Amino acid sequence: MSITVVGSVAYDSIETPAGRRERCLGGAATYFSLAASFFTDVRVIAVVGEDFGPEQEAVFAARNIDTRGIEHTAGKSFFWEGSYLENLNEAQTRNTELNVFASFEPKIPAAYRDSEFLFLANIDPILQRRVREAMPQVKLVAGDTMNFWIKDHRPALLEVLKGLDVLLINDTEARMLAGNNNLVQAARAVRALGPRALVVKHGEYGATLFRDSDARTESAFKAPALPLEQVIDPTGAGDSFAGGFFGYLASQPELTPAAWRRAMFYGSVMGSFACERFGTERLQQLSRPEIDARFNHFRELTHLD
Amino acid sequence: MSITVVGSVAYDSIETPAGRRERCLGGAATYFSLAASFFTDVRVIAVVGEDFGPEQEAVFAARNIDTRGIEHTAGKSFFWEGSYLENLNEAQTRNTELNVFASFEPKIPAAYRDSEFLFLANIDPILQRRVREAMPQVKLVAGDTMNFWIKDHRPALLEVLKGLDVLLINDTEARMLAGNNNLVQAARAVRALGPRALVVKHGEYGATLFRDSDARTESAFKAPALPLEQVIDPTGAGDSFAGGFFGYLASQPELTPAAWRRAMFYGSVMGSFACERFGTERLQQLSRPEIDARFNHFRELTHLD
């Protein structure tokens, strides 16, 4: 089943201990779609400027990603500049230029309206809600957010959460959203705000899925992260996790407990690949056999037998 | 097979968000022995003062722990006071009084000399080495250390590492010991110093075992930590991990790869129990069926099928 994703398609200038890249293709919707495209059909809603040309278009085309919902407009694309020199787990933002994103009004192509899965990447919750309401037919809606929206746009964010089936955020965001430092209690509080499933990402320590395994039993499932010899660039790892996770779910005929568990592993697998090169380089070169080989590696890394 | 452990038997005054306890029985050798005693015979080498009486002795006796190597001497036992009000993952030390520990000269009872497993808990590396050399017959030696010895007693510590089969430390200590922030690279560097197996403990995120699965293949295995609803007191969680891990290994007829994996899970299980009450309270009340039930819970938490 196909996924529609709304989010940023952008340019990133990135500095890490491994080096520096200027204006590489980035943005949450880009990482998400590339990762999800290995599992299912993906359709993107975004806005770009005149600096987005055939070369960038070709990155999506190579993975059969539908870009009819990427609006081209006068001006420059969203731009982000950050570094990980201090800490590979957390970017220091040097510069953010919203550019054409400042006046983004998501438009949903008619051809997208039969998508059964919807992913609301990290953008203004007002826009997330608008897209959600414009696609009432979807079966499963997942979303992401960040500290900025949690702190300063809480009422709008709470409205979005009511319409989400799955929320994917990191530890700090979960604790901030719940106002509770204990992760189990924070997870319960966040789920009470709407999403029946919550994925908390722990960076290099993997991720935990909190959901009800049946009507009475709350359960948790942990996916590891691969211990990486070299983290070249962590940009987009969380969005790639979301793409692998949601892409795998969308590829399944039925959302069984086993499907949710495997989705967590595929999320972690895609996040680990994203870190191996700058920007989207690794996701562009990836193959499904490589993905499944790493999935098996993750199983060996955690399974007793 | 029996384990001999050398380390501190102490009193701790502890403050956490859940409350405060004055002078509860603590010390690395205490937590380690209680945890390991659910798997195998344990013998302790330590020193205590006149404040250590029948009530404390009974805690060890209830778990059939051999205390003939606990020397009683004039003065007060080792005392530590700390709080976890800021951060449940890291104690703030308020006071340390070495007391009788300052002149500790480990004496090994003749009855301990057939122990095949030796655990060198976190004490002065000079003492660790002395005990190691006095017990040449042991089959497997594991040890712990801390930032203080890594920073200020490096030459003595390096001598200890040469004689260790397994080192158990936390992330920060592994990175500090290796002088490398990448955990995979740090693990390799630490293992080059002696220990063929390295367990890196990640606190609430579990632990990773690095060892060679055969002569050519380096492998890693991850055990989760239980997402705990309430962490009452994290004191001794690392020592309890070590006790569960090493106790399980000592109980096995052969150290197969599967035995190492299960040992990691039992370590994590014992660490999680230790946090549920103040001091050693939970370990004192524990039963083997509870331990195995949690082991199975950990399997469900991480296994795909």
For residue B221, the chain A residues in CB contact (below 8 A) are 301-302
Both tokens of residue A219? 């359960």
Per DSSP, chain A holds a count of helices (H) and strands (E) of 11, 13
pLDDT tens track, chain B, 305 positions: 899 999 999 999 999 999 999 999 999 999 999 999 999 999 999 999 999 999 999 999 999 999 999 999 999 999 999 999 878 878 899 999 999 999 999 999 999 999 999 999 999 999 999 999 999 999 999 999 999 999 999 999 999 999 999 999 999 999 999 999 889 999 999 999 999 999 999 998 999 999 987 666 678 999 999 888 888 999 999 999 999 999 999 999 999 999 999 999 999 999 999 999 999 999 999 999 999 999 999 999 999 98
CB contact under 8 A, B302 and A301: no
Alpha carbon of B109: minimum distance to chain A alpha carbons (Å): 38
* DSSP-assigned letters across all residues of A190-201: HHTTS-SEEEEE
Residue type, position A16, single letter: T
CA distance B212 to chain A (A): 13
Alpha-carbon torsion, ordered A255, A259, A264, A269, to 10 deg: -130
CA-wise closest residue to B160 among B202, B123, B113, B126: B126
Measured CA to CA, the distance from residue A182 to residue B227 in angstroms comes to 9
CA torsion through residues A190, A191, A195, A200, sign:
positive
* Global pTM value: 0.94
Q: What are phi and psi of A16, to 5 degrees?
A: -135, 170
Chain A contact set for B230 (CB, 8 A): 182
Give the whole-angstrom CA distance, residue A244 versus residue A33: 9
The structure tokens listed for A242 are 């979301």
Which of A243, A238, A271 is CA-nearest to residue A3? A243
Q: What is the ipTM of this complex?
A: 0.90
- Contact between A17 and A84 under an 8 Å Cβ cutoff? The reply is yes
A92-97 and A78-83 strand pairing: antiparallel
Select the residue from B204, B214, B261, B303 to test the A interface by mutation, using most A Cβ atoms within 10 A: B303
Beta bridge partner(s), residue A157: none
Inter-chain CB pairs, A–B, below 8 Å: 69
A178 burial class (0-12, 13-18, 19+ CB within 10 angstroms)?
buried
Please give the residue of chain B at the shortest CA–CA distance from A295: B304
Q: Which residues of B touch A229 (CB under 8 A)?
A: 182, 184-185
Instruction: Tell me which chain A residue has its CA closest to the CA of residue B224.
Output: A222
First to last CA, chain A: 33
Strand partners, A170: A201
Q: Identify which of A222, A301, A304 has the shortest CB distance to residue B258.
A: A304
Query: How far apart (Å, rounded) are the C-alpha atoms in residues B68 and B60?
Result: 11
